[in-house]
């Protein structure tokens, strides 16, 4: 008998096909309340994404649950303590999207700082026929501050070096063997850089870490980029900073309550918005899907999973 899986979000077609051949799959969006209740005793695995929320109460709903396989790097929405208490294995797909996300962070930085979207609209609306587009800020040779020098932050630093930038970072501890200057707090880092890029993990420890004081420190010529977690930024403070010119611009791929983006952000001309797509290249999504399948296959065949969290 095939193990029963619950799919919390739509998955790549290639993964759906492979799963269907080996598992009894049910999409949460297709279940009414009665169907979900009937399914609860037999669900042995859940496939989540980095944006999924699984609280202790939700994990407890599935008494036969053995594994939660996350299609993504982040897992801060999953109650790991509850998973441990209920003897539920949690896996994720780390390292596969590093280069794509670092690329995208640079793309957002360039787009926001050089005002590419505004310039595109300027041309399309005929503005170029009667005037010149205003000057914009230089990126090369600037000072980049990286919040979280993990895999993605380190890959971003390599790209920033190619742009002739000086690099500094903040994190829980100073890293050995790293040539970049370390700051013990994000506000101190923001005060000394031109571009502040968030690459940190989400969760309670980083909740609203980038607040009004940090944005004030970044200053009226500073640019903020977030490709990590929307919860790390105080969105109300960011809207005020953008609206009042306390920072120059922002590039955001993540938001606090996805996919709902604050209306105030949608109205601002000095912010570039994208739908949490930094990691979604064809190659990366395919590799992540393969790793999710391999983790599930290993678990249900009694083998160690490849990329465990819990």
**pLDDT score, position 165:** 99
Tokens representing 280 are: 């979604």
Burial (CB count within 10 angstroms: exposed 0-12, middle 13-18, buried 19+), residue 147: buried
Active-site hit among 276, 282, 286, 299: 276
Q: Which residues pair with 146 in a beta bridge?
A: 169, 197
Residue 197, pLDDT score = 99
Helix (H) or strand (E) holding 182: strand 181-183
From the list 84, 138, 244, 258, the catalytic residue is: 258
Instruction: Establish whether 258 is a catalytic residue.
Output: yes
Q: Which domains does the chain have, with CATH numbers?
A: 4-96+282-301 (3.40.50.720), 98-273 (3.40.50.720)
What are the distances in angstroms from CA 212 to CA 59, 108, 292?
Answer: 36, 21, 39
Reported confidence tier of residue 28, pLDDT bands at 50, 70, 90: very high
What is the token pair recorded at 154?
């380190």
pLDDT per residue as tens digits for the range 1-17 = 899 999 999 999 889 99
How large is the average pLDDT for residues 23-36? 94
Q: Which of 209, 196, 200 is nearest to 168 (CA)?
A: 196
Q: Token pair 């595109």 is at which residue?
A: 120
Alpha carbons 83 and 175: distance in angstroms, whole number: 30
The pTM score is 0.94
Annotated catalytic residue within 18, 89, 229, 299 = 229
d(CA 82, CA 65): 12
Active site residue 235: no
Question: How distant, in Å, are the alpha carbons of 156, 158, 194, 303 from that of 161?
Answer: 9, 5, 14, 42
Q: Give the tens place of pLDDT for each residue, 255-278.
A: 999 999 999 999 999 999 999 999
Given this model, what pLDDT does residue 14 score?
87
Tell me how far apart the alpha carbons of residues 236 and 240 are, in angstroms, rounded to a whole number: 6
Of the candidates 55, 56, 65, 8, the one whose C-alpha atom is nearest the C-alpha of residue 31 is 8
Instruction: Look at residues 91, 118, 109, 101 and name the one whose alpha carbon lies nearest to residue 165.
Output: 109
pLDDT tens by residue, 96-118:
999 999 999 999 999 999 999 99
Dist. CA 112–CA 256, nearest whole Å: 20
- Annotation marks residue 124 as catalytic: no
């Amino acid at each position: 008998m095939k193990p029963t899986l619950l799919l919390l979000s739509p998955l790549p077609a290639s993964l759906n096909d492979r799963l269907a051949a080996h598992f009894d799959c049910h999409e949460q969006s297709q279940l009414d309340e009665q169907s979900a209740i009937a399914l609860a005793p037999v669900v042995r695995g859940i496939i989540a994404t980095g944006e999924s929320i699984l609280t202790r109460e939700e994990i407890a709903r599935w008494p036969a649950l053995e594994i939660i396989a996350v299609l993504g790097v982040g897992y801060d929405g999953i109650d790991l303590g509850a998973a441990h208490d209920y003897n539920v294995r949690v896996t994720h797909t780390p390292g596969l999207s590093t280069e794509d996300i670092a690329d995208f962070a640079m793309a957002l930085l360039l787009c926001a700082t050089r005002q590419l979207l505004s310039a595109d609209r300027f041309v399309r609306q005929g503005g170029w026929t009667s005037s010149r587009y205003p000057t914009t800020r230089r990126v090369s040779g600037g000072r980049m501050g990286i919040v979280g020098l993990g895999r993605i932050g380190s890959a971003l630093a390599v790209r920033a070096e190619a742009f002739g930038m000086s690099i500094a970072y903040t994190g829980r501890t100073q890293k050995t063997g790293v040539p970049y200057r370390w700051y013990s707090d994000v506000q101190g880092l923001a005060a000394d850089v031109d571009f502040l890029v968030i690459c940190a993990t989400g969760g309670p420890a980083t909740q609203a870490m980038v607040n009004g004081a940090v944005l004030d420190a970044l200053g009226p010529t500073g640019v903020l980029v977030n490709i990590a977690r929307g919860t790390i930024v105080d969105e109300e403070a960011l809207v005020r900073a953008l609206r009042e010119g306390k920072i120059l611009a922002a590039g955001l791929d993540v938001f606090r309550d996805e996919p709902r983006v604050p209306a105030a952000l949608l109205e601002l001309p000095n912010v570039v918005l994208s739908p949490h797509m930094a990691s979604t290249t064809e190659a990366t999504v395919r590799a992540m899907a393969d790793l999710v399948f391999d983790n599930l296959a290993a678990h249900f065949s009694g083998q160690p999973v490849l990329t465990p969290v819990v």
